[in-house]
């Protein structure tokens, strides 16, 4: 039996409907349970002494005064923890030539960025631990620092890690066709340089971990705000020399993640190590200032790009040189090379062309570590691609919508492999663009723009097509030796009252995992979503899985849930058929009732099946399988990734006297395959767009030449707030993946992927008549006025 997704009136048609999230009710009542909400008996708190230098040799560490402070219990240095915790290296075997040195939970000999944890102080309260940390004296001998990306490999730039020989972490070039010849001969070549600023995720709940080591059981339990509990389980076990089976990682409510909480952090591992040493619960709650120097950073790319076109405006090729600085260490275990790698894959993604070159150079520097953050690489690649496409359109006098129509991959051209080497199963660029043009009433908007320009009001329309990588296979990490699971599993269990419990390896950080899993399982089993309870984020009970990242939850975890739910349905029907003297194939389960499939006639409640199986199994035939609990795992196999597509538009007004940009409206049409819950998808897109707008207009971690962070507070690092954000129109095209019965791809990156480019193009559309253009994000009022030549000094 297959699900007739095209029939909204089919029985149990929960997939595709807006149903409320089962966990939202308690969150609005203040009944969430985030890690910092948990207090355990004998719990103590840890605070860290962090390096105030970007690069310094660590000399003597004086802890005596701290240790005698009332309320301080223990002080740990890097050497103390090195005895119980092995170092790590964020490398993947398939990333040829990649280098990174070993990293310890607390720096041993050298501190390599401002914020690197050096000493841990344990106190009865966080205030005690902080007071103790303030009394620790560390002798730092400042060393030369590397901060600039483009000069990191110059011969006269100091080498950050001597053992590695140079400051190159990784370099990869992706090339196809005859790029040099094509660009030499092309009718039109357009060039530009681009910068995406260094960002950080700013999850509203800072990172937090509470680790208990129970020596009696020989078991560690880590309550942690994290996206990938099974991954963390294996890594804590490995580095702290505990059997994997004796580490339990529990992720309850998580206050935002966006990729920030999918990595291994030295302060979190240190907390676990300290818990093991002290044999009591230890909590580390990052404060916001620590978050700015301790959480991963991202983006920080500088690129030059060229696009070649023929007379008709047909794109011939792209040629991009991308550089990124990732701090002093590659992140563990995913590596810090992936954002650059994604750029080499994603440039030109929506378009047909034959000639391609993109090189990324990933360099070390004395700043915070960069790593995967929402829409890894996408905003960079889309900004470069769409910035070049729009610039070409302007220079050739072709409407930007029209130029895209001439070049977007045809909707019937799939499957295909792009010049960059991406295998695409099925996308809908043209249908999406058509839907966008209609949703925004493009012609009317252009007319309005023209009319207002005559009155001195400068408005701009920006378009950005994009592709989005979702549902990653083991080709992303597993192939490189990282124990990061690309498969995922779901166990579905029916209880005596006919209600259902589903345990999934996918985790919830607000996306709505619990809601969509409940919908999928409800439809698969044949009960209402209210009859389904979802359990996530506990390595002791959930099937082994990868967690939630790279927009894999719905597509991979969802399919496992669908298949597990179908299996339980089959089991329940087999029992019911036996009880009813009917054929299982003639029965169906609808809204918790076993019915005659043909007529819909009610035959028996599921609760009756549950009663008999669990309490009167003696009345069933001997040998009848009666496991109303089934587990299924799913992994994609036909394609390394399920690509999705979409297109965004931004409408802005630029105050050309002040440089301020007012966001008037934003549109997004995207295709994430089968939509499970329209409301949740829309809000994923909206949230993602605003994160992308943050990149375009506000967000930038600033360092000085000495590697000192200049804006590490929420007052100084500007995130989007409600006052400046626009209303957003969201539309969908649905091209389900055929990899799975569910057909779902991911939707988590789309908004963030396309918004910066759309806003950039809109600003440039507004100011182009005045002779300016901006390509270095964020587009601050000042940068816009400098582009216009209003400010020159």
Partner 1 sequence: MKASIGGYTRAETVSHALSLLAEANGAGRLLAGGQSLIAALNLGTTSGDMLIDIAGIGALRGARIDGNRLIIGALTRHADIASDPLIAEHAPLLAKAAPLVAHDAIRNRGTIGGSLAYADPAAEYPACAIALDATIILEGPNGTRQVAAQDFFLGLFETARADDEILAAIAVPMAADGERHVIREAARRSGDYALAGLAVVRRDGRHRIGAFALGDRPLLCEGAMAALDGGDIDGAVAALATDVDPTSDTQASAAYRRHLAGVLLRRIAIDLGVG
Partner 2 sequence: MTDSFQSRIDLEMTINGEAVELTVPAGRHLIDVLRHDLGLTGSHVGCEHGVCGACTILVDDSTVRGCLTLAAQLQGCEVWTIEGLTEKGVIADLQKAFVERNALQCGYCTPGMLASAKALVEAEGVPSRETIREHMSGNYCRCTGYEAIVDAIETVARQRADETGARSRAGETVAKARAGARS
Tokens of 482: 């990282």
The two most distant CA atoms of the chain are separated, in Å, by: 90
**# chain residues binding partner 1, by CB under 8 A:** 31
Sketch the per residue contact string, 675 through 714, with partner 1: x for CB under 8 A, - otherwise. -----------------------x-x-x-------xx-x-
Burial of 94 (0-12, 13-18, 19+ CB in 10 A): middle
Q: Which of 657, 662, 769, 789 binds partner 1 (CB under 8 A)?
A: 657
3-state secondary structure (DSSP) of residue 65? helix
Q: Which of 289, 439, 620, 664 binds partner 1 (CB under 8 A)?
A: 289
- Give the list of residues 6+ apart from residue 772 with CB closer than 8 angstroms, or none: 764, 784, 787, 788, 789
Tokens 């089962």, located at residue: 22
Among 376, 379, 384, smallest CA distance to 359 is for 384
For partner 2, which is the closer residue by CB, 288 or 533?
288
Question: Does 736 participate in binding partner 2 (rule CB under 8 A)?
Answer: no
Question: Does 512 participate in binding partner 2 (rule CB under 8 A)?
Answer: yes
Q: How far is the CB of 402 from partner 1 (least distance, A)?
A: 35
Q: Which does 683 bind (CB under 5 to 8 A by kind): partner 1, partner 2, none?
A: partner 2
Sketch the per residue contact string, 385 through 424, with partner 2: x for CB under 8 A, - otherwise. ----------------------------------------
Return d(Cα 687, Cα 719) in angstroms, integer. 12
Q: Which does 790 bind (CB under 5 to 8 A by kind): partner 2, partner 1, none?
A: partner 1
Question: Does 137 participate in binding partner 1 (rule CB under 8 A)?
Answer: no
For partner 2, which is the closer residue by CB, 700 or 739?
700
Does an H or E element contain 133, and which? Answer: helix 126-135
**C-alpha R_g of the chain:** 27
Q: Which does 131 bind (CB under 5 to 8 A by kind): partner 1, partner 2, none?
A: partner 1
Q: How far is the CB of 101 from partner 2 (least distance, A)?
A: 32
89 annotated active-site: no
Burial of 535 (0-12, 13-18, 19+ CB in 10 A): middle
Tokens of 343: 């750029």
Q: Helix axis angle, 229-240 relative to 266-278, nearest 10°?
A: 60
Q: Is 171 left (phi over 0), alpha (psi -120 to 50) or beta?
A: beta
- Give the list of residues 6+ apart from residue 103 with CB closer than 8 angstroms, or none: 87, 88, 89, 90, 266, 329, 332
Question: Does 339 participate in binding partner 2 (rule CB under 8 A)?
Answer: no
Sketch the per residue contact string, 199 through 238, with partner 2: x for CB under 8 A, - otherwise. --xxxxxx--------------------------------
Return d(Cα 158, Cα 168) in angstroms, integer. 12
Q: Indicate the pairing of strand 208-214 with strand 188-200.
A: unpaired
Q: How far is the CB of 667 from partner 1 (least distance, A)?
A: 23
For partner 2, which is the closer residue by CB, 690 or 744?
690
Q: Which of 155, 621, 723, 771 binds partner 1 (CB under 8 A)?
A: 723
Question: Does 724 participate in binding partner 1 (rule CB under 8 A)?
Answer: yes
Return d(Cα 596, Cα 585) in angstroms, integer. 9
Among 47, 53, 62, 49, smallest CA distance to 110 is for 53
Helices (H) and strands (E) in the chain, counts: 19, 28
Does an H or E element contain 644, and which? Answer: strand 642-654
Among 403, 386, 385, 384, smallest CA distance to 310 is for 403
Question: Does 722 participate in binding partner 2 (rule CB under 8 A)?
Answer: yes
For partner 1, which is the closer residue by CB, 410 or 791?
791
Sketch the per residue contact string, 319 through 348, with partner 1: x for CB under 8 A, - otherwise. ------------------------------
Does an H or E element contain 468, and which? Answer: strand 458-470
Question: Does 715 participate in binding partner 1 (rule CB under 8 A)?
Answer: yes
Q: Which does 793 bind (CB under 5 to 8 A by kind): partner 1, partner 2, none?
A: partner 1
Using CA atoms of 753, 758, 760, 762 in order, give the dihedral in degrees to the nearest 10. -170
Question: Does 8 participate in binding partner 2 (rule CB under 8 A)?
Answer: no
* Active-site residue, selected from the candidate residues 116, 205, 514, 749: 749
For partner 2, which is the closer residue by CB, 473 or 780?
780
Summarize as ranges the residues that interact with partner 2 (CB under 8 A).
20-21, 23-25, 27-34, 36-37, 39, 127, 201-206, 253-258, 285, 287-288, 509-512, 655, 658, 660, 679-680, 683, 686-691, 713-715, 719-723, 725, 727-728, 751
Which residues does the annotation mark as catalytic?
A: 749
Summarize as ranges the residues that interact with partner 1 (CB under 8 A).
126-127, 130-131, 134, 287, 289, 657-660, 698, 700, 702, 710-711, 713, 715-716, 718, 720-721, 723-724, 780-782, 785, 790-791, 793
């Amino acid at each position: 039996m297959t699900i007739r997704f095209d029939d909204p009136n089919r029985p149990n048609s929960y997939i595709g409907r807006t149903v409320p999230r089962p966990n939202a009710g308690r969150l609005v009542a203040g009944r969430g349970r985030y890690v910092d909400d948990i207090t355990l008996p004998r719990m103590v708190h840890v605070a860290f002494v962090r390096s105030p230098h970007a690069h310094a040799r660590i000399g003597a560490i004086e802890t005596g005064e701290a240790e005698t402070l009332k309320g301080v219990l223990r002080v740990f240095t890097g050497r103390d923890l090195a005895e119980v915790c092995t170092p790590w290296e964020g490398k993947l075997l398939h990333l040829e030539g990649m280098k990174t040195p070993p990293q310890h939970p607390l720096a041993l000999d050298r501190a390599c960025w401002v914020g690197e944890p050096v000493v841990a102080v344990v106190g009865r309260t966080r205030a005690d631990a902080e007071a103790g940390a303030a009394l620790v004296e560390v002798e730092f001998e400042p060393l030369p620092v590397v901060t600039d990306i483009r000069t990191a490999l110059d011969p006269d730039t100091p080498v950050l890690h001597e053992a590695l020989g140079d400051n190159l972490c990784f370099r990869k070039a992706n090339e196809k066709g005859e790029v040099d010849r094509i660009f030499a001969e092309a009718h039109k070549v357009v060039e530009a340089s681009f910068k995406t600023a260094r960002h950080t995720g700013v999850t509203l709940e800072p990172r937090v971990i509470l680790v208990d080591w129970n020596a009696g059981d020989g078991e560690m339990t880590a309550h942690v705000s994290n996206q990938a509990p099974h991954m963390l389980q294996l890594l804590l076990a490995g580095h702290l020399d505990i059997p994997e089976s004796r580490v339990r990682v529990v992720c309850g409510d998580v206050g935002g993640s966006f990729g920030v909480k999918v990595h291994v952090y030295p302060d979190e591992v240190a907390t676990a190590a300290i818990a093991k040493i002290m044999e009591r619960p230890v909590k580390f709650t990052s404060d916001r200032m620590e978050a700015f120097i301790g959480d991963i950073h991202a983006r920080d790319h500088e690129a030059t790009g060229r696009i070649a076109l023929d007379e008709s405006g047909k794109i011939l090729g792209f040629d991009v040189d991308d550089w990124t600085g990732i701090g002093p260490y590659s992140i563990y275990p995913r590596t810090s090379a992936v954002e650059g790698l994604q750029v080499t894959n994603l440039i030109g993604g929506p378009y047909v062309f034959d000639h391609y070159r993109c090189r990324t150079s990933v360099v070390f520097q004395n700043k915070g570590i960069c790593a995967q953050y929402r829409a890894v690489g996408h905003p960079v690649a889309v900004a470069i691609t769409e910035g070049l496409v729009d610039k070409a359109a302007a220079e050739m006098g072709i409407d930007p919508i029209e130029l895209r129509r001439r070049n977007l991959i045809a909707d019937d051209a799939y499957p295909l492999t792009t010049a960059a080497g991406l295998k695409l199963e099925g996308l809908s660029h043209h249908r999406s663009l058509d839907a966008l043009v209609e949703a925004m009433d493009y012609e009317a908007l252009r007319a309005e723009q023209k009319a207002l320009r005559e009155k001195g009001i400068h408005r701009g329309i920006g378009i950005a097509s994009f592709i989005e990588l979702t549902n990653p296979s083991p080709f992303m990490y597993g192939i490189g030796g990282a124990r990061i699971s690309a498969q995922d599993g779901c166990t579905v269990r029916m209880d005596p009252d006919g209600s259902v419990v589903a345990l999934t390896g996918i985790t919830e950080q607000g996306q709505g995992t619990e809601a969509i899993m409940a919908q999928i399982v409800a439809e698969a089993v044949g009960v209402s979503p209210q009859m389904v309870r979802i359990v996530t984020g506990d390595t002791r009970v959930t099937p082994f899985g990868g967690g939630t990242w790279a927009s894999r939850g719905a597509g991979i975890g969802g399919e496992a849930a669908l298949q597990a739910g179908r299996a339980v349905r089959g089991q329940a029907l087999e029992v019911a058929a036996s009880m009813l003297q009917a054929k299982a194939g003639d029965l169906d389960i609808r809204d918790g009732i076993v019915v005659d499939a043909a007529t819909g006639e009610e035959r028996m409640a599921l609760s009756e099946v549950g009663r008999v199986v669990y309490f009167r199994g003696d009345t069933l035939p001997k040998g009848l399988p009666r496991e109303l609990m089934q587990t299924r795992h799913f992994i994609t196999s036909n394609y390394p990734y399920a690509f999705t597509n979409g297109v965004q538009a931004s409408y802005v007004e630029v105050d050309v006297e002040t440089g301020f940009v007012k966001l008037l409206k934003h549109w997004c049409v995207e295709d994430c395959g089968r939509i499970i819950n329209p409301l949740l998808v829309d809000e994923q897109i909206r949230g993602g767009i605003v994160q992308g707008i943050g990149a375009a207009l506000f967000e930038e971690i600033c360092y000085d030449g000495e590697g000192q962070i200049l804006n590490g507070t929420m007052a100084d690092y500007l995130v989007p707030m409600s006052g400046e954000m626009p209303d957003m129109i969201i539309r969908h095209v649905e091209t389900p993946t055929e990899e799975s019965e569910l057909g779902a791809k991911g939707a988590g990156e789309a908004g963030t992927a396309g918004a910066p480019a759309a806003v950039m193009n809109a600003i440039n559309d507004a100011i182009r008549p005045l002779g300016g253009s901006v390509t270095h994000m964020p587009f601050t009022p000042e940068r816009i006025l400098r582009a216009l030549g209003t400010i020159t000094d």
